[in-house]
Amino acid sequence: MADDPLGDALAAIVAEGGDGAPLRVCHAGVAELPIDGAAITMMTGLDRQEPICASDEVAGRIDELQFTLGEGPCLEAFASGHPVLIPDLQESVDRRWPVFSLHAQRTAARGLYVLPLQLGAIKVGVMDLYSLAPGDLPLKVLTNALRMADAAMWTLLDRRGEHQTGQPAHEAEATYGLTDLPLHRAEIHQATGVILAQAGVSAEQALAMLRAYAFANERPIDEVARDVVARRLRFAGGTS
């Protein structure tokens, strides 16, 4: 039987489970495939995203940009159920998500490959892979990336099941720049409610205002959300 270090690693990760399993999937892929970073995001809708882990700062930044801006390949991959493969971010500005493209070009990433995480009609989230060198993913690499996505999907289903049943979660492993993630996104939804009340706008408009403020001030959206919840930042009448 041929050696399959990636398959062996992914099988062991899924079998072990735990809150740290998604990050271990990312690290396994980076170790065995010609990619330089990976991030996994749980999603229940285009405006309901929970960054779970990122293997490094670049992967985390790409993930955060898409949530902050409300556009990007991860949203398309989730909505369509198909991979979105970008051989070279630096080549041109993608008209489908122009603002994301401009900001992604400021990162070190060149190739960006986004895979949906789903089981039949059940959509769980997306996995972003990036490379420092531009280029298409060879078929064998894409096949192995899809195996990563399958493993990531099972770890998220396991994670979601643990939290929904109230069973104690395993101690989460450290991720790059993303810690206490359930609270991280809960604060954003709480901040959206605060802005809704302050400015008298809809929930969608409140989230758009939060995103716009974070973007205009070049601040992480979760940091702005904490200021809103703590009443250090107020919004009124569509302005801050």
Provide the pLDDT for residue 214.
Answer: 81
Nearest to 84 by CA among 53, 106, 51, 62: 62
Provide the pLDDT for residue 61.
Answer: 93
Provide the pLDDT for residue 217.
Answer: 81
One-letter amino acid for residue 47 of the chain: D
State in words which class domain 5-165 has: alpha beta
Provide the pLDDT for residue 177.
Answer: 33
Provide the pLDDT for residue 73.
Answer: 95
Residue ranges, comma separated, of all CATH 3.30.450.40 domains in the chain are 5-165
Residue ranges, comma separated, of all CATH 1.10.10 domains in the chain are 181-229
State the greatest distance between any 2 C-alpha atoms of the chain, in Å, as a whole number.
66
Give me the residues of the chain with pLDDT under 50, please.
1, 161-183, 238-240
Is residue 208 within 8 Å of 56, Cβ to Cβ?
no
Residues comprising the chain, all counted: 240
Provide the pLDDT for residue 184.
Answer: 53
Kindly state the DSSP code that residue 75 receives in the 8-state scheme: H
Beta sheet of 111-119, edge-to-edge order: 48-54, 37-45, 122-131, 111-119, 84-86
In what helix (H) or strand (E) does residue 122 lie, and over which residues does it extend?
strand 122-131
The pTM assigned to this predicted structure is: 0.72
Provide the pLDDT for residue 210.
Answer: 84
Q: 181-229: which CATH architecture?
A: Orthogonal Bundle (1.10)
3-state secondary structure 84-119: EEECCCCCCCCCCCHHHHHHHCCCCCCEEEEEEEEE
Provide the pLDDT for residue 166.
Answer: 43
In what helix (H) or strand (E) does residue 25 lie, and over which residues does it extend?
helix 21-32
